[in-house]
Structure 1
Amino acid sequence: MHGVDTLLSPVSTDCLLEVVEEGIHRPFEPFLKVDYLKPKHRPEPLTLAPRPVLRPTASPRARLSSSVLLIIFTLVSLVFTGSLSFAFFGERNSDVLGDLLKGAAAPLPTGILLLGEDVDVDVDEPSITVRWSLIACGPGMVLDGSEGIHGISACGLPSRNISVFVDDAESPALVFSPSNIPFLSSSGMRSIQALSQFDADYVLDVHEAHLYPMDRYSLSTTMFALDTETSSPVPIEALHTIHETISFSVVSSDSSTYHTLSDGSRRSSRELHLSVSRPTSARIFIFSLWATNWLLAHAAVGLILLTIRNEEYYPGDSPALAVLAILLAIPRLRESMPDDPGFDGVLIDTVGYFPQMAISGICAVTLLFLAAKKEMDGADGALGTDVDNRRSAQA
């Protein structure tokens, strides 16, 4: 034991270290190396570099194709918009009244006619106002210096005093006198439009008003003319109106009639039948808005189903905002319909606006209920978790 203690003493350890350094082998050499006695070297923690994200880069050919498509789309949009703008020039260049007068005067060799230059339809009244112009065509009937009205050289103002009566009115709607038409100093022409025009109001038959926009209105009226000086009948050869207004299409047809007076004589007159309906373009636009409102109502129902099926979908975020936007959009689209009627129970509201608003409102209330339920379930779950944690801590 004395030898072992001597070997393990500090002096013996130093000697052994010196021997080891000199390369002399000893039994305890592995345990006495200086490197073994040093503390072990701890490696630095391994850090992984983030994996680079490979982003697809578009090839030059793909970028060129996108640019070409964008240029083509822009050119098509410009051509389409420019083509539509020519419609305004076409309407400006067309002489509706001239064509109407030409068609009315062509079959007449001579005579007096009334041209309906404006038709104002008011469904709410309900009434229709027609602005009539007194026109004479043919030799011996036209006032000198008034030829060429609406571009028709054979037509102008009447050359005689004429009184025009509408239906069975006792007073004339128009008293025309050629002597009241002044001469134009520069050319000697005579034409004052207001002195040969009058307005006539009629009551519409509105038994189809609830069928908007498929509603149709009709009326019938008679007119006769008398010579103001002699009270002799002046035959009215034609009654014609324009065919298109802002919101309606007008179809007119006239026929020759007569009245039997108390003395047994006959007085010639003219009867007019008017049929007023919505133009096809207006009907297409109205039904497009009506269908869009139904699509919005169905979208509100779809949001409800999406919220119920997807548990992670929170009903208080985008679904509620979308349904609120639908509730605001449906009335605005309803008001955008041309010449829209009031909310009086017309057919398009019975099968459109009223159920659409009811469905959207029910969807909004349902979303609010689902949002409140999810909030309450979340609060109950948080409370239960807190109680379990407290019990675990006490145990």
Structure 2
Amino acid sequence: MLKKIFLIGGFVSLLGFIGLWIGQKILIKFLEEKAQTKIFQTSLSQMENWFIRNQTETGDFHYELNTTTGQTSSNYNIVRQAGVLYSLAQAYKYHPSSQLKKTIEKEINFFKEYWVVKADQPGIAMIVYQGKQKNNTEALLLLGLAELIESDPNLKSQYWEMAQQLANFLVTTQKDKGGFWYEGNSSSPESDYNNGETFYALVKFYRLDPDPKYLTSINKAANYFLKKYPPTNFNSSFFSWGMAGFANLYQVDHQEIYWQYLKDSTENFRTSSIGKNIINKNDSHLRGGWGVFLEGTAFTAWVAKDKDHQYHDQLAAYIKNSLDNLLSLQIDGPRGKFTSDFENIKGGLCNDSLCQSQRIDITHHNLSALILYLSLVK
């Protein structure tokens, strides 16, 4: 009898030890995740401040900076200026601040200077900068305005008409097969970037304004893109925007083909050379521009939350580790390998591991990737 009691007591003690060990593991994991989140949020705030410091008097942003001198270059790209608006609007939705709002409003006013509405098409607007028109400028602007409208209902009355005019314009740029012409007029060719950005912008806006004309355009594009961009062929220009578009379309229309396309395309990216190198902490050729691919991966992880929990967890870990690696390129960041005495340089990401320059698209894509991880994936 005593032996039996002893055995039972030993078993209970063992269970208690195992329970304590498991509890410690859970606590350690919780504290590690909390510390990691704090690092990401610090990096995010530093990127926001980098943009705030580098906004010009007219409302756009210094496009490229020399990290050695702190000086700006003469290079410029209007499309990437619109991309900044999209990322900052995401940041504002994630954690609103009066300073961010002021910065965003100032950039919107910059674009109003190039806003063109034709007399015979009052419901359509486009951006014409220095006599040229690139349609993914309108797509990225629409994405930024949509994020703002989602973030604060009070902003809807302020930006709804602008967003609607941009969406109406993008519909008119669709070609017969389903893609979108890129610049100038309908005879111009498609662009993989523009196809993805316009597709995502229209889906995003359709979720705010379910007008059938948008859905008709979206479905036509989706059917075309499923064939034009097969998941077996990683297309670095289309991938992230395409994943964003199809992930949002899946929220509207739960077709299994969309989910399978997201998963297969994302797996093909992860097994590509970039997909492997982005997570490699020993890679001596790390590029800040790879952050854009984490945006697309995050949208797939968002859908996987409901479709495949195990796959979601795999993608979440992949995105977290990749971001942790890319943030080594953030100057004076919590994970950064580089420092600077120039205030306008601090907080932005280097273009690559040589850290000779910074560019607005490199930082805004990593800003978006951080926000998507923290808000949709984690």
Question: TM-score normalized by structure 1?
Answer: 0.22
- Say which structure is richer in helix: 2
Question: TM-score normalized by structure 2?
Answer: 0.23
Higher Rg of the two aligned structures? 1
- Say which structure is richer in strand: 1
